[in-house]
Chain A
Amino acid sequence: MHFALTLLLLASVLALAWRYLGSYLEAVYSGRVGWLSRAERVTYRLLGVDPSHEQRWHQYAVSLVVFSGVSLLLTYGLLRLQGQLPLNPQHLPAVSPLLSWNTAVSFITNTNWQNYAGETTMSYLSQMAALTVQQFTSAAVGMAVAIALVRGLSRAGATTIGNFWVDTVRGCLYVLLPIAFVAGAVFVAQGAVQTFAGPALIRDALNGATQLIPRGPVGFMESIKQLGTNGGGFFNANGADPLENPTQLTNLLSVALLLSIPVALTFTFGKMVGSRRQGLALLAAMGLIFAVWTGFTGYAESQPNPAVAAAGVVSQPQGNMEGKEVRFGVLDSTLYDIASTQTSTGSVDSTPDSYTPLGGFGLLTGMMLGEITPGGAGSGLYTLLLFAIVAVFIGGLMVGRTPEYLGKKIQAREVKLASLGVLVMPVAVLAITGIATALPVGRVGAFNSGPHGFTEILYALTSQANNNGSAFAGLNGNTAFYNLAGGIDMLLGRFGVMLPVLALAGALAGKQSVPVSLGTFRTDNVTFVVLLLGVILIVGGLTFFPALSLGPLLEQLSRGRLF
């Protein structure tokens, strides 16, 4: 009953975000918001960019790749030089080359996979200047690509799809910065740490305990970590750490923040293509999968933990509390982890490795569907649009007409690009998981034995290819093999999708619009939503079922066995 009210509150907040943030985003990206226009103008002058000049798709793509490359180098450099730089009260040494590579790739791709423990590896300066920065810009880049694709869909006979620099700057300044700042203050008011003072030494006279409490600029990183669907926390325990996610209120605020931009973008999309219903159809597909997965995983986690039961604990009234925090309980913990695995955020407030087999299955499969329910900031919308194009293509085959989407004829080039974008992720996941399980260097990383150990490896590579970043954290990822392979996995999952998306945007923008007729296959009704869901579930299901059956399904079915 209580949890139903929590869901109701969340749904109300998201409905407001959908309507008002969605409409605001449209205004921002079409240049009709100007309360920071002076700062914007100065920025463009420094960049040497003419904001009125639009780019063709390949120019847009080159700008994006060059910017990401420079960000990668800068992040890598800061991590390597950490020992010589200020704001390092714990005197932490430089981050090792391979770990710096993995971490830099991870943050510029909006993944935030962490092969390190923040409080014992990263100086305050690294957390801020290397990592928090990318949490802003990588999210803004994702949103920019989504907007560019929607421009391609909404323009006719055009050669350009917008200006990468303008879109990125606007996303950062008008959207991410103000919301993150206000939300950051809320996190701190609730108890998240925010200080430059080093760790605090505690001596408790009551029990004689001595503790060193890690601190740092946490609260304001936490807000952008969620809002930008990044997920990389300051502390190793991420959102489970009370110094990072102190109360039930911050827990729900986190869920609302990480869902808000992906949900709002469906309204933005509807407004830009001139039909709110088109956006609603996408939102319905996202929402249905999200609701089913939340229910399924919440149910699975409400069951007793088999190992705890085997140890003779008769009653587990809430369900599986291993790896969960008392202040959140089972259901709110599950909601957080589901929201974060389905948005490419990847922050966790309870450890996925200790979820029940079917609970872990819920988290893992949420990512395997391609991070589209509702997916990451921008990446959710553009990946879902790829699925929509595949769906209209299949629909067109069934009725024997040239498929159209939003008045654009979908032809060989578009279908090829969409299929490429959809298939890059599964290929990366399965190929690298295959290599990892075939090689001793890959197998040695698994912490748990039996099918759970395999799930740890599969989860890690699924998470990185989807730019999610959550982990079955028992896996020791800080090895040469996983640092390298994970970096490649993340790059493929980011740019292997973004570049086809931009090419698609260019191809679509150039097309003329076909007038709607009686024979047009409608993409704003229930039939289309069902077709879209079918495509998503069949592609994801058929691709990953064999791998899943070796991991969580085998673990679930081996009742009574321990590993």
Chain B
Amino acid sequence: MLTQLRPAVVLAAGALLLFGLAYPSAGTGISQLLFPHQANGSLTSNGSTLVGQPWTGPRWFHGRPDPDNPLRLDGVSGASGGSNLGPRSRQLVAAVRAAGVQLRRLGVDPTADLVTSSGSGIDPDITPQDALSQVPMVSRSTGIADSRLRRLIRALTVGPELGFLGPSYIDVLQLNAALARLR
């Protein structure tokens, strides 16, 4: 037993140095050198394109009804994650209903993505259909023609990657930033 202790301790310590310090440090070095934008969180002047934001009112395209709260400012809690509500949960029914009421009040016929929350709680994307359903609302409140908004949506739609991987989607922050430039 004791003769096994030396290799065990040395291997555990060596693994700590190699995989716990050298590996992530080398990875960080290479990442900061080659992909600094991505490695630092895909930050733009308006926020990270990978982190959803709360959009309210008729003047912006809305994302999914997530908390969009990646880390609370007081640092006490606020971790990413979904609602974890089960498929027959009364709470989920109530949450979906509330999200639907809000959208209808703004004149949007809610699509499924716009009333369900995501797995991350910070989903930055919506589908083109979700965006199109909001075109009348945005057009009415901003005075920008329907056709221009549709063109904008088409231009910003990405995916499926490689032509077949997953669905098409639009980053809501990029869509709204482009919308702000149109005004």
Contacts and interface: CB of A to CB of B under 8 A. Distances in A.
A193 B37 CA distance: 9
Interface size class, chain B = 35 or more
A217 B24 contact: yes
Given A69-B8, A120-B71, A563-B89, A5 B164 contact: yes
A313 B24 contact: no
B135 interface: no
B112 A317 contact: yes
Interface in B93-121: 93-94, 96-97, 100, 110-113, 115-121
A351 B43 contact: no
Interface stretch (A94-102, A287-295, A321-329, A426-434): A321-329
A305 B87 contact: yes
A295 B51 CA distance: 31
B10 to A, nearest CB: 5
Contacts of A517: none
Given A193-B41, A211-B51, A327 B167 contact: yes
A449 B86 CA distance: 9
Contacts of B78: 120
Given A236-B79, A307-B87, A243 B118 contact: no
A246 B86 CA distance: 25
Given A235-B80, A248-B161, A473-B84, A312 B92 contact: no
Nearest to B39: A194
Contacts of B124: 242
Contact of A48 (B6, B18, B21, B92): B6
A214 interface: yes
A48 to B, nearest CB: 5
B8 A305 contact: no
A308 B115 contact: yes
B151 interface: no
Given A118-B79, A213-B41, A237-B120, A356 B87 contact: yes
Contacts of B83: 322-323, 351, 354
Contacts of B161: 247-249
B70 to A, nearest CB: 6
A351 B161 CA distance: 23
Contacts of A119: 70-71, 79-80
A188 B12 contact: no
B30 interface: yes
Given A120-B77, A210-B73, A325-B120, A133 B8 contact: no
A449 B91 CA distance: 10
B159 A191 contact: no
A311 B96 contact: yes
A558 interface: yes
Interface in A295-342: 305-308, 310-313, 315-318, 320-329, 332-333
A464 interface: no
A235 to B, nearest CB: 5
A325 B118 contact: yes
Interface string A204-225: 1111011111110101110010
A329 B18 CA distance: 37
Nearest to A247: B161
Contacts of B9: 70
B54 A562 contact: no
Interface string B117-137: 111111111110110000000
Nearest to A197: B40
Contact of A217 (B7, B28, B110): B28
Given A212-B71, A236-B79, A311-B93, A133 B20 contact: yes
Given A217-B27, A306-B88, A452-B89, A241 B120 contact: yes
Interface in B52-91: 53-56, 60, 64, 68-73, 75-90
A474 B81 CA distance: 10
Interface stretch (A165-173, A388-396, A524-532): A165-173
- On chain A, which size bracket covers the interface? 35 or more
A71 B11 CA distance: 9
B24 A221 contact: yes
Interface string A65-101: 0110111001000000000000000100000000000
Contact of B27 (A172, A210, A220): A220
Nearest to B73: A212
A243 B51 contact: yes
A26 interface: no
Contact of A240 (B51, B64, B68, B120): B120
Contacts of B115: 308, 311, 313
A243 B40 CA distance: 10
Contact of A241 (B6, B40, B75, B80): B80
B41 A243 contact: yes
Contacts of A48: 6-7, 10
Contacts of B112: 308, 313, 315-318, 321
A478 to B, nearest CB: 12
A355 interface: yes
Given A237-B120, A308-B96, A555 B87 contact: yes
Contacts of B141: none
A549 B82 CA distance: 26
Contact of A206 (B94, B111, B159, B180): B180
Interface string B17-32: 0111101101110111
Interface of A: 1-3, 5-6, 9, 43, 46-49, 62-63, 66-67, 69-71, 74, 90, 117-120, 128-130, 132-133, 135-137, 165, 168-169, 172, 177, 180-181, 184-185, 188-197, 199-200, 202, 204-207, 209-215, 217, 219-221, 224, 235-237, 240-243, 246-249, 251-252, 305-308, 310-313, 315-318, 320-329, 332-333, 348-351, 353-357, 360, 447-450, 452, 455, 472-474, 555, 558, 561-563
Interface of B: 1, 4-16, 18-21, 23-24, 26-28, 30-32, 34-35, 38-43, 45-48, 50-51, 53-56, 60, 64, 68-73, 75-90, 92-94, 96-97, 100, 110-113, 115-127, 129-130, 159-162, 164-167, 169, 173, 176-177, 180
Given A236-B80, A323-B117, 4 more contacts: A137-B12, A213-B71, A311-B93, A312-B96
16 contacts: A46-B10, A49-B7, A128-B20, A185-B27, A202-B51, A206-B176, A213-B51, A220-B24, A240-B80, A248-B160, A311-B100, A323-B82, A326-B130, A326-B169, A355-B87, A562-B88
